[in-house]
Amino acid sequence: MIRKLGFTLIELMIAVAIVALLVLIALPSYQREVRKSRRTEAIRVLGEIRMAQERWRADRPTYGTLAEVGNPGSGNTYYTFTVTGNTATAYTLVATATVAGGQANDYAGVACSPMSIDQAGAKSPAACFTQ
């Protein structure tokens, strides 16, 4: 008796179904971690802009605009960065998620768009800044 080697169609379909099930379970977790890493990058950029603001203010009577202090996040396609309320004593940095890559769906107990930090270091929403 000659034994045939290989897979039957049923065995192949069962393997495909198992792989599809694993992907279905793993994909949301993967996407959540990707959004979290992009949020971490935005927080890093906010910190860089904050340091640039302090360097700017050391030589001038007011905090600067984003164009004046430089925008280290200009290449970031997942967040847009703005400076609001810049005066002699205060400013607020804001990172707003774009729809690119689903970043607008970033959620850490609260919606993480927009995220902001001011000259005193007050972060809003605070849950988005904890990793």
* β strands within 1-131, DSSP E: 79-84, 92-97, 115-118, 123-124
- What's the burial of 91, exposed, middle or buried (CB within 10 Å: 0-12/13-18/19+)? buried
Nearest to 86 by CA among 75, 74, 94: 94
CATH fold of 9-129 reads Glycoprotein, Type 4 Pilin (3.30.700)
Does residue 4 surpass a pLDDT of 80? no
- Structure confidence by residue, pLDDT tens digits, 55-97: 999 999 999 999 999 888 888 899 999 999 999 999 999 999 9
- CA dist 70 and 56 (Å) reads 10
For residue 3, report the phi and psi dihedrals to the nearest 5 degrees. -95, 130
User: What is the pTM (predicted TM-score) of this model?
Assistant: 0.82
Does residue 2 surpass a pLDDT of 80? no
- Give residue for tokens 């990058």: 41
